[in-house]
């Protein structure tokens, strides 16, 4: 079945779905919530899934950013398991570059995420019908607070999505580490690359014990899942006093009660050991993480 789309509609969709990166002028993905692709049922096709675990041009996490009044902090979270609303990436963006340098292909099982590293491998389940698909998360977005992920038309079709749908997103740890290692050129086997091993084998000194009267807090992540936030806090206590702070609908994982030198050490260790891009607060106010 063919679908006819007017030039006026295409122009409107493209205007609302491309966001300009202020650093280099490159176009990156984003939507205003109204320019989504509506799918038409087509004959099933055989897709080559070899790209799912292929090396990417770069392993991209990125810095904290805000969408309206909500802050998002990209972070490596192998326990990521969240539910929310998903949309569909407009097919008109086929061939554009993703945030980690890949080329968006409407026929591949790919998706966007506000916080997951790029690339990450995840299972997406349509909670309306129970159908699942394995996707390669390779782009930032959607840049609206009402959705947690957008899927390529092929991935959406695989789980019976014809528009927005409620989904569950679960990171697949082993395959996510495999594609990370392929991208950054790591030589160690995927099965032994766990967070515990990484901390034990790193040559970066561990940060000093947290002070009880420090004015600085380092934020690791802002998650919708309380269980995921608590699990991350438990893992991160090797770096200091990791706690979960609930603000609105988000559970924020922070290492608190740090003085300036300790905060600097924690930030450096998290960047080196965990590949994180942590944020920094001083007396509860956001400041540049590199200002101390």
Encode 32-46 in three state secondary structure: CCCCCCCCCCCCCCC
Q: Per CATH, which fold does 206-287 belong to?
A: Alpha-Beta Plaits (3.30.70)
pLDDT, residue 129, reads 93
Tokens matching residue 101: 């340098």
Burial class (CB in 10 A: 0-12, 13-18, 19+), 3: exposed
Task: Give the number of other CB atoms < 10 A from CB of residue 25.
Answer: 7
**CA atoms of 176 and 180, how far apart (whole Å):** 6
Strands 132-140 and 110-113: parallel
pTM for the full predicted model: 0.54
* Whole-number pLDDT of residue 133: 95
Domain ranges of the chain: 7-175, 206-287
Angstrom distance (rounded) from CA 102 to CA 18: 16
State the pLDDT at residue 29.
53
Residue 204 tokens read as 């970066």
Query: How many degrees, rounded to 5, is the angle at CA 190 between CA 184 and CA 194?
Result: 95
Which alpha helices (H) appear in the chain, and where do they start and end?
A: 7-17, 153-158, 173-184, 195-201, 226-236, 260-269
Q: Which two tokens stand for residue 60?
A: 């991209």
What is each CA distance from 114 to 67, 84, 119, 203, 208, in whole angstroms?
A: 10, 12, 12, 31, 32
Q: Give yes or no for a contact between 216 and 282, defined as CB atoms under 8 angstroms apart.
A: yes
Distance CA 49, CA 99 (A): 20
Cβ distance 174 to 46 under 8 Å? Answer: no
Q: 267 φ, ψ to 5°?
A: -60, -45
Residue 51: C-alpha distances to residues 6, 194, 256 (Å) = 33, 23, 40
| Tens place of pLDDT per residue across the chain (292 aa) | 434 443 343 333 333 343 433 333 333 454 333 333 334 333 333 334 778 999 999 999 988 888 888 899 999 889 999 999 999 999 999 999 999 999 999 999 999 999 999 999 999 999 999 999 999 999 999 999 999 999 999 999 999 999 999 999 999 999 999 999 999 884 333 333 333 323 333 333 344 333 334 799 998 887 767 888 888 899 899 999 999 998 877 788 899 999 999 999 998 888 788 767 778 889 988 887 778 8
Q: Which superfamily is assigned to 7-175 in CATH? A: RlpA-like domain (2.40.40.10)
**The pLDDT value given to residue 228:** 80
The tokens describing 213, both together, are 């009267």
């Amino acid at each position: 079945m063919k679908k006819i789309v007017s030039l006026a509609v295409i122009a409107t969709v493209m205007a609302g779905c491309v966001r300009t990166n202020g650093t280099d002028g490159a176009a990156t993905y984003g939507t205003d919530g109204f320019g989504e692709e509506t799918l038409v049922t087509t004959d099933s096709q055989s897709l080559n899934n070899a790209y799912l675990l292929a090396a990417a041009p770069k392993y991209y996490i990125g810095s904290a950013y805000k969408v309206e009044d909500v802050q998002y902090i990209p972070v490596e979270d192998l326990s990521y398991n969240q539910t929310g609303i998903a949309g569909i990436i407009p097919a008109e963006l086929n061939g554009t570059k993703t945030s980690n340098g890949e080329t968006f292909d409407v026929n591949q099982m790919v998706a966007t995420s506000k916080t997951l590293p790029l690339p990450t491998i995840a299972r997406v389940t349509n909670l309306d019908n129970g159908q699942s698909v394995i996707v390669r998360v390779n782009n930032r977005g959607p840049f609206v607070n009402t959705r947690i992920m957008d899927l390529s038309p092929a991935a959406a079709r695989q789980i019976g999505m014809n528009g927005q749908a409620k989904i569950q997103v679960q990171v697949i740890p082993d395959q996510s580490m495999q594609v990370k290692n392929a991208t950054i050129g790591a030589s160690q086997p995927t099965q032994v690359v766990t967070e515990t091993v990484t901390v034990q084998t790193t040559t970066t000194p561990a940060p000093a014990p947290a002070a009880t009267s420090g004015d600085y807090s380092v934020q690791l992540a802002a998650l919708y899942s309380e269980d995921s936030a608590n699990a991350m806090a438990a893992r991160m206590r090797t770096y200091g006093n990791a706690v979960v702070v609930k603000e609105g609908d988000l559970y924020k994982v922070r290492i608190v009660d740090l003085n300036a030198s300790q905060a600097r050490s924690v930030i450096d260790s998290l960047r080196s050991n965990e590949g994180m891009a942590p944020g920094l607060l001083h007396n509860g106010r956001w400041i540049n993480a590199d200002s101390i």
